[in-house]
Amino acid sequence: MTTSRTGVDAERFVRDGFAVIPGFKAAGEIAALRARAAEIVDAFDPAKASGIFSTRDESTKNDDYFLGSGTTIRCFFEEEAFDEHGALRQPKALSINKIGHAMHDLDPVFEAFSHGEALDAVVRALGLAEPRVYQSMYIFKQPHIGGEVGWHQDATYFATEPETVTTFWFALERADRNNGCLWVEPGGHRGPLRERFSVGNAGPHLERLDPAPWPSGGAVPIEVESGTLVVFHGLLPHYSAPNRSPVSRHAYTLHAVDGRARYASGNWLQRPKEFPARGFV
């Protein structure tokens, strides 16, 4: 009954912690974003950067390349991109894990995809009165070597008081169990925040806040067609398996918080005054 013309069922979102909106983005918009991502990767010189992304090895997050990426556009390699001699196993275009984290503000093609009335209507239907989009990520989930992203909650990385971070996950290709789709624990957003990643005087660190285990059963795969928007609560536990299939699984994500909430000074991604996080319109 609460599925408005935004396509989002707000009541179900409150119950399950996520909502799936098929056909949110048109094929032409997706093609434009994919083409622009390919150009960014093509222009990327691996000799100038390290940046292997892994959620399993927190030390990789500690390097300046990652921590300095919140206000710019950088490419990160898959963990398995390199062989034992340090050479790429696959061509560069098939070795990049993701691009992050400010394309939505800095690149015109990404900016167009990341803004508009339709997105604004969704975020408002979910109760974020002053949405602020802090982060964008283009995730490749490459064929054969696409890495696992272990169970986590996105609020771990975007603390606000109260918790408001909301994730927008756009399928840029079909995502299914074969190529590493999202898995979520329906209703799991009503559980505790388990971990907090923050940057302080002691450097970046991941702190265990609650001993609650990650889901061992009851998780469901979110198998969706290209163009689908999956929006989920910052406390919703989710993961995605490695991609061992010959098919990629491109996705694009945005993370928004409510500007009325206090954004933690310990969050790794900080926006300077002259480059503030903006809303969807």
74 phi, psi to nearest 5 deg = -135, 150
Closest to Fe ion by CB, 44 or 128: 128
What token pair was written down for 269?
């991604």
What token pair was written down for 244?
């061992």
102 to 141: interface string for Fe ion, x by CB under 5 A? ----------------------------------------
Q: Which residues contact 87 (CB under 8 A, 6 or more apart)?
A: none
Among 154, 173, 185, 258, binds Fe ion (CB under 5 A): 154
Q: Report the amino acid identity of residue 146.
A: G
In sequence order, the β-bridge partners of residue 230 are 20, 169
- How many residues bind to Fe ion according to rule CB under 5 A? 1
In sequence order, the β-bridge partners of residue 258 are 131
Closest to Fe ion by CB, 18 or 44: 18
Closest to Fe ion by CB, 119 or 149: 149
What token pair was written down for 198?
């923050």
Q: Which residues contact 4 (CB under 8 A, 6 or more apart)?
A: 10, 121, 125
Does 79 engage in binding with Fe ion (CB under 5 A)? no
Write down the least CB distance from residue 154 to Fe ion, Å. 5
Minimal CA–CA distance to 153: which of 144, 145, 161, 163? Answer: 163
Per the CB < 8 A criterion, the answer to whether 7 and 24 are in contact is: yes
Write down the least CB distance from residue 236 to Fe ion, Å. 9
Write down the least CB distance from residue 87 to Fe ion, Å. 30
Per the CB < 8 A criterion, the answer to whether 175 and 222 are in contact is: yes
- Of 10-18, 71-79, 148-156, 263-271, which part binds Fe ion (CB under 5 A)? 148-156
Of all residues in the shown chain, the one whose CB is closest to Fe ion is: 154
Write down the least CB distance from residue 117 to Fe ion, Å. 26
Tokens 């606000």 found at: 160
With residue 11 as reference, give the H or E element that holds it.
helix 10-16
Write down the least CB distance from residue 152 to Fe ion, Å. 6
Write down the least CB distance from residue 184 to Fe ion, Å. 10
SS3 256: strand
214 to 253: interface string for Fe ion, x by CB under 5 A? ----------------------------------------
Write down the least CB distance from residue 169 to Fe ion, Å. 8
- Of 120-128, 146-154, 170-178, 202-210, which part binds Fe ion (CB under 5 A)? 146-154
Closest to Fe ion by CB, 107 or 154: 154
Tokens 């556009």 found at: 73
Per the CB < 8 A criterion, the answer to whether 239 and 150 are in contact is: yes
- Of 5-13, 38-46, 150-158, 272-280, which part binds Fe ion (CB under 5 A)? 150-158
Per the CB < 8 A criterion, the answer to whether 280 and 123 are in contact is: yes
> Alpha-carbon Rg of the chain, whole angstroms?
18
Write down the least CB distance from residue 217 to Fe ion, Å. 20
Closest to Fe ion by CB, 44 or 175: 175
Tokens 């945005």 found at: 254
Summarize as ranges the residues that interact with Fe ion (CB under 5 A).
154
